[in-house]
Chains A and B, each alone.
Chain A
Amino acid sequence: MVPARRSRDHGRASLNLFEKRFVINTGKGGVGKSTITAAMALAAARKNLRVLVIELNTRERISRLFGADEVGGEISLVHDNIWSVNLTPEAAMKEYVLMKVHLETIYRVVFENRLVKQFLQVIPGLNDLVLIGKAAFHEQERDKHGNPRYDMILVDAPATGHGIFFLRIPQVITEAVPSSPMATATSEILNLLQDPDRTILNLITLTEEMAVNETIELKERIDETLDMPLGYLIANGIYPRLLRPQEVREISRLADSRGASNDLTCRLLESILFRHERCDLQASYLETLQRRIPMSLITVPYYFTPDFDLEVIRRIADHIERSVEQAVNGE
């Protein structure tokens, strides 16, 4: 359904993350999406961009990563140049309806009616639509001088299964009911989502079997159903190798000989071999990812620290910044 030609056009779009206005990070739960998103925000903020990070109806993580208080539905400053908000469909819906019907009284009488509320709950995709609509609204938002209020909207989009629907809903509506007011509102969102100058969609994954397979599947579904400009494939949690291949072979030989008389030495030998086996496993998944998903790859190392603090976010931000520079220069 998606013409290959258009995908190629997107392929030519700049990979300069820091020039985009609408950055969407998606991936399965537990792959470190929030961490990567926070690091991206930090990297952009250091370039003097004003960044709004949007979490979607989730357990809030961004504010905590920056050591700020929970922000909830109120846009709040969580770090220099970084604002954050956790959108809920209820709040977004109210805001949207009030924009349309203008009267708080009507809102209260009609939309806060128990039955209408229940009804809105079950309109397929409505919650998703108001969330993506609200995120898109902030891209359009201007200050009193007519300048964009934020330079970058960074959306931490829900885990894959749901993530794809969330991005697809504007399309479903414009296709299903092309001439409704909802479709009109939606087509603007769709324009933004498909604009390679403003928008970039990044996929975040771990190099583990499940995550890799689901990411491949997600990419397939994106190709089939979404016509969105793709950015980076970000593989998180890569164990740094400690030994050179030759050394691994030597250690493996020593361990196999079972000649170490000391028990602790045996365990240390086995443990470092174990790590390198996992490194090999990760490498094989990286290879699969690269083969199946032809996107610009950023690998983010695993940080062995007991406390996940701002320092780690800073290091990941450095890493992302360098990788984006390389990708842009390599274009």
Chain B
Amino acid sequence: MNELHQIIGDHSTVVCVGSGGVGKTTTSAVIALHAALSGRKTLVMTIDPARRLANSLGLTGIDHHPTQVQVTDLLELESPIQGELWAMMLDMKTAFDEILRRNTEDEQTVQRIIANPFYHYFSTSLAGAQEYSAVQSLAEIAREGQFDLLVLDTPPARHAYDFLSAPDRLFEALDNSALQWLYKPAVLGGKAGLGFLRLGTRYVRRTLGKFTGSTLLDDIGLFIESMSPLLSGVKERAAKVRDILHDPSTVFLVVTSPDPLTIGEATQMKQRLDDVKVKLGAFIVNRVHRPILRDSEKLPEVDWLVGQLKTVPGAAYIGQEHLDRMASCMIRNAQDIGGLARIDARMIRSLADSSQAPVLTIPLFSRDIYSLKGLQRVRHALFQDEVPDCLRFQSAGTS
């Protein structure tokens, strides 16, 4: 076991952030699996548009509510695992609808809002809506206190702060006085010192209307007005979420691939996490090409390799010409993959140099992770746990 085991053990909320396509969802599931195997009741909350995670956890589907994963059966373990593994899928639209319902008295209003042409746009694409519903769900579940560990997989972000500041931004936006002015001009009309109001609300409205059309303004005004129940208690909710993210028992992990662009984004995320004073536990670099050559080794000549291949039992049937071609392809491949491994190593080193946080790696696998057993293999790689023979995987350049 390595220091990641320690980090996970020391916290009760783990938030995985990272750019899109780096394997955040798989990593979150692996961490949750590890915690469950270590004896904790764990919930992984994920955003997985492909719903592949459900399959890999042996579930026919997961929805917005926690479902238990039958780890013992799926891994064919001899004795039941100590902890429990639960999974839930964060569905943005459902989460947003739920927030709406919780804060709206009558179903009629809910329906009216949902039918508004702008609502769909708001709930699925407005900057921060996704992130907001994710942390809201996290806050809800944390409050209920049923789990020892929550692992949150976050929406892909180029910048971690999209995620961190989302709740604030979203509700600053909805709560902002300019919007209030739109649907209840009287609120602001009375206040002095607002530059443009001296020009007259009507004038501003007309100018804006030239640009957007006044019907649009009215529509948005109506929409915002009907959304206003959502605004009540917003500040308190946002504060609760902030508390959880800053709690000493919460730790962030930045998941990345070794791609230079993604590493750059990971470094920025770390910077941002530092700025807002949340705790970075570790970097996890996924899909790393393993080097083929050992430190002082050089790529062999084709002739040498052909000679070596000939000593392998069964090679006698292969013609000389064939062997030559195979050997030169093997060397060409070693150059290709070796080159990638070198770039990866360089990127990982630069990441490690730029930060105090530990950097852990997961190798690139030749197959995708489709099952709990697959997650188990990744777990062994990530936590440097001993790999049972039956679960050995093939990966570049290792035996």
Contact = CB atoms under 8 A, between A and B. Distances in A.
Given A250-B326, A273-B394, A159 B20 contact: yes
A116 B205 CA distance: 10
Contacts of B261: 30
Interface string A93-104: 000110011000
B61 interface: no
B94 interface: no
A251 interface: yes
A131 to B, nearest CB: 14
Contact of A254 (B315, B334, B337, B339): B315
Interface stretch (A11-19, A80-88, A178-186): A178-186
B391 interface: no
A247 B211 contact: no
Given A30-B259, A116-B204, A217 B49 contact: yes
Interface stretch (A107-115, A134-142, A226-234, A290-298): A107-115
A253 B179 CA distance: 70
A295 B398 CA distance: 39
A128 to B, nearest CB: 9
B176 interface: yes
B68 to A, nearest CB: 25
Interface in B80-113: none
B366 A281 contact: yes
Contact of B126 (A124, A208, A243, A305): A124
Contacts of B398: 267, 270
A233 B199 CA distance: 53
Given A247-B326, A268-B292, A273-B394, A115 B300 contact: no
Interface in A229-243: 242-243
Contact of A123 (B50, B195, B212, B214): B212
Given A271-B292, A275-B337, A213 B21 contact: no
B230 interface: no
The secondary structure that dominates the A interface is: helix
A156 to B, nearest CB: 14
A305 B182 CA distance: 56
B395 interface: yes
Contacts of B308: 260-262, 265
Given A119-B178, A275-B337, A181 B196 contact: no
Interface string B193-208: 0111001000010011
Given A29-B19, A30-B21, A209 B52 contact: yes
B371 to A, nearest CB: 13
Contacts of A122: 126, 173-174, 176, 178-179
Interface stretch (A169-177, A190-198, A315-323): A169-177
A210 interface: yes
A97 B368 CA distance: 50
Interface residues of A, number: 76
A29 B156 contact: yes
Contacts, number: 220
Q: Which of A30, A126, A209 has the most CB of B within 10 A?
A: A30
Given A101-B210, A116-B178, A253-B314, A272 B259 contact: no
A214 B49 contact: yes
A165 B395 contact: no
A125 B337 CA distance: 44
A37 to B, nearest CB: 15
Q: Which of B173, B211, B293, B314 has the most CB of A within 10 A?
A: B211
Nearest to B395: A274
B52 to A, nearest CB: 7
B313 interface: yes
B312 A259 contact: yes
B216 interface: yes
Given A29-B156, A261-B311, A180 B213 contact: yes
Given A29-B156, A172-B117, A182-B212, A118 B311 contact: no
A214 B367 CA distance: 19
A306 interface: yes
Interface in B265-320: 292-293, 297, 300, 305, 308-309, 311-315, 318
27 contacts: A30-B21, A100-B211, A101-B210, A106-B207, A110-B204, A115-B177, A119-B182, A122-B176, A122-B178, A123-B220, A124-B121, A125-B121, A165-B125, A177-B213, A177-B215, A177-B216, A180-B214, A182-B213, A206-B21, A209-B52, A257-B312, A260-B311, A268-B292, A270-B397, A271-B396, A274-B394, A281-B368
Sorted nearest first, the 9 A-B pairs with minimum C-beta distance are A180-B213, A119-B178, A277-B366, A213-B50, A115-B178, A242-B329, A304-B336, A176-B117, A259-B312
Interface of A: 28-31, 59, 96-97, 100-101, 106, 109-110, 113, 115-116, 118-119, 121-126, 159, 161-162, 165, 172-173, 175-177, 179-183, 206, 208-211, 213-214, 217, 242-243, 247, 250-251, 253-254, 257, 259-275, 277-278, 281, 304-306
